[in-house]
Structure 1
Amino acid sequence: MGSVILFGIAFIGGTIVVTLAFYFLMRFIMGADPTGKDRELAGAVVMRISSLHALILALVFAQEMIEYQQLKFESVTEANAVANVYFDAERYGANEKPPIQQALFEYVQIVVDEEWRSLGTTGQLSATAWAKWDNVYQRVLDLTPTNVRQQSIRDHMLANVHAISDSRDKRENSGTDSVSKIFWFAAISGVIFMALGYYPYPPDARNLLLLSVLGAFTGIILFFIYAFSDPYNPPATLKPTAFERLLEELASPPPSG
């Protein structure tokens, strides 16, 4: 937690430094504006740049937040599908239940203990988890219903097995997607050009404070975009909470009679 806070402070401090540095650079090149003639044009330019810059940040921030929340939703959907197959196996029959439930239990263990972390390092799903999923899929396919009830349960299990596969693919895509370098170029360019446009204003305490506030707030938004763009790594790591809860539920003994 401490490292995340320090990284955030460094991120925000960096944008403040960039803002002030380019403000002073432009003022050094252009000199002061004692007559105030440059302020009107500079203000109009800054307003247009800041509007486009704010729009870009808002769109990308919203996109990353949606994808972050979508990953959370998909992980819950996947965990629910696993639970449905697990308990449907119990409803189907005593002989078919043990191998299916054991494979699903091991699957959830792999997701929690290995796969979630590997998505943050390699961006790829675990082959072992896929093998457990395939084991379950093959066993459900091999079921031979003897009545309408078993047929209905088998169909429901197959639908949920496919739902698990779909959610897995979406989890992998969420891990490999990242913010384009073009965005970072546009975001940093916007900060620089806005800072350049304020050169007609003298570097007194109030103006420098306002420029620092502009840089700090921009840095906060950029930090959030960076954080949410990689949900499997700090600083905004999304935990496999749904799978952890499911693992606890499956590991706990059933209530007695």
Structure 2
Amino acid sequence: MLVSGVVAVVFIVGTVMISWAVYFGMRRVMGEDFAEDTQTLAGSVIIRVAALHGLILALVFAQELVDYTQLQGNLTEEATAIADVWNDAGRYGEAVAAEVQPALRRYTQLVIHEEWEVLARTGRLAPEGWQLREVIYQAVLDLDPATPRESDLRAHMVHKAQAIAELRQARENTALHAVNPLFWLAALAGLVLVAVPYFVFSPTRLHMVLLSVYGAFSGLVMFVIYAFSDPFAAPGVLEPLAFERLLETEIGQQVD
């Protein structure tokens, strides 16, 4: 929370300072002698540029929110697949459970305690995770069902093991994703271009407050976009709660 607060303050204060710098810089360069209709023209420019700037922020904000929400759904789906394979292995028989369940337990612990940090640091999945998934997949793939019940259980476990691999890959793709630098260029350019026409208004307390509100809100939106863009690290870290809940069940219980 402290890191998130500090980064948010940097974004908000930074955009307010940029707005002020542009405002006072333009007044210094252009002076204070304006035609009667200058404020009308400036207001028209502000409205049009601010609309485009807001649209850019809104589109990128929406896309990052969709990706963030999709990751949440994928985590729940992957954790559900792990639980399904665990339970079906127990239903299939003790020999299968003894081979599959320890790998599932270690896989869950790895995601929480090691892989999340690796994704934040490198954007790559831990190799051990793929190895454990292969152990699980090969174990259920090699089963030789003797009854319709076992055949259904095997088919279900194979399907869920495949889903785990697909969801793992989607998780890595999310970690490798980053907001295009051109967006930050457009966002900052929009902030500056909206602030430019404000120089025709005198620097009263009310006018500076209004300019600050615009800069602060722009900074807040850009901070949220930045936070959503990396769900594996602060300030927008998404905790693997679905996996943590798995360890609260029998999956997290060590066998003596």
TM superposition score category, shorter chain reference: over 0.9
Shift of residue 61 of structure 1?
0.4
In structure 2, what is the Cα distance between the partners aligned to 1:40 and 1:251? 67
Q: Tell me which residue corresponds to 1:30.
A: 30
Q: Tell me which residue corresponds to 1:235.
A: 235
In structure 2, what is the Cα distance between the partners aligned to 1:10 and 1:97? 52
In structure 1, what is the Cα distance between the partners aligned to 2:215 and 2:178? 24
In structure 1, what is the Cα distance between the partners aligned to 2:254 and 2:243? 17
Q: Deviation string for 1:143-162 (max 9, x for gaps)?
A: 00001000000000011001
Shift of residue 196 of structure 1?
0.5
In structure 2, what is the Cα distance between the partners aligned to 1:180 and 1:253? 44
In structure 2, what is the Cα distance between the partners aligned to 1:173 and 1:253? 32
In structure 2, what is the Cα distance between the partners aligned to 1:35 and 1:191? 25
Shift of residue 18 of structure 1?
0.0
Q: Give the TM-score normalised by structure 1.
A: 0.96
Q: Tell me which residue corresponds to 2:245.
A: 245
Q: Tell me which residue corresponds to 1:172.
A: 172
- The farther-off stretch of 31-40 and 132-141 is 31-40
Q: Tell me which residue corresponds to 1:158.
A: 158
3-state SS of the aligned residue for 1:112? helix
Q: Give the TM-score normalised by structure 2.
A: 0.96
Matches within 5 A, 1:95-134: 95-134=95-134
In structure 1, what is the Cα distance between the partners aligned to 2:133 and 2:28? 64
Q: Tell me which residue corresponds to 2:215.
A: 215
CA-based RMSD: 1.3
Aligned-partner residue type, residue 77 of structure 1? E
In structure 2, what is the Cα distance between the partners aligned to 1:134 and 1:81? 15
Shift of residue 252 of structure 1?
3.8
Matches within 5 A, 1:47-126: 47-126=47-126
In structure 2, what is the Cα distance between the partners aligned to 1:241 and 1:36? 61
Count residues with an aligned counterpart: 254
Say whether the 8 Å CA contact 2:7–2:223 is kept in structure 1.
Answer: no
3-state SS of the aligned residue for 2:247? helix
Q: Tell me which residue corresponds to 1:46.
A: 46
Matches within 5 A, 1:188-227: 188-227=188-227
In structure 1, what is the Cα distance between the partners aligned to 2:163 and 2:98? 21
Aligned-partner residue type, residue 13 of structure 2? G
- The farther-off stretch of 22-31 and 210-219 is 22-31
Q: Unaligned regions of 5+ residues in structure 1, if any?
A: none
Say whether the 8 Å CA contact 1:36–1:200 is kept in structure 2.
Answer: no
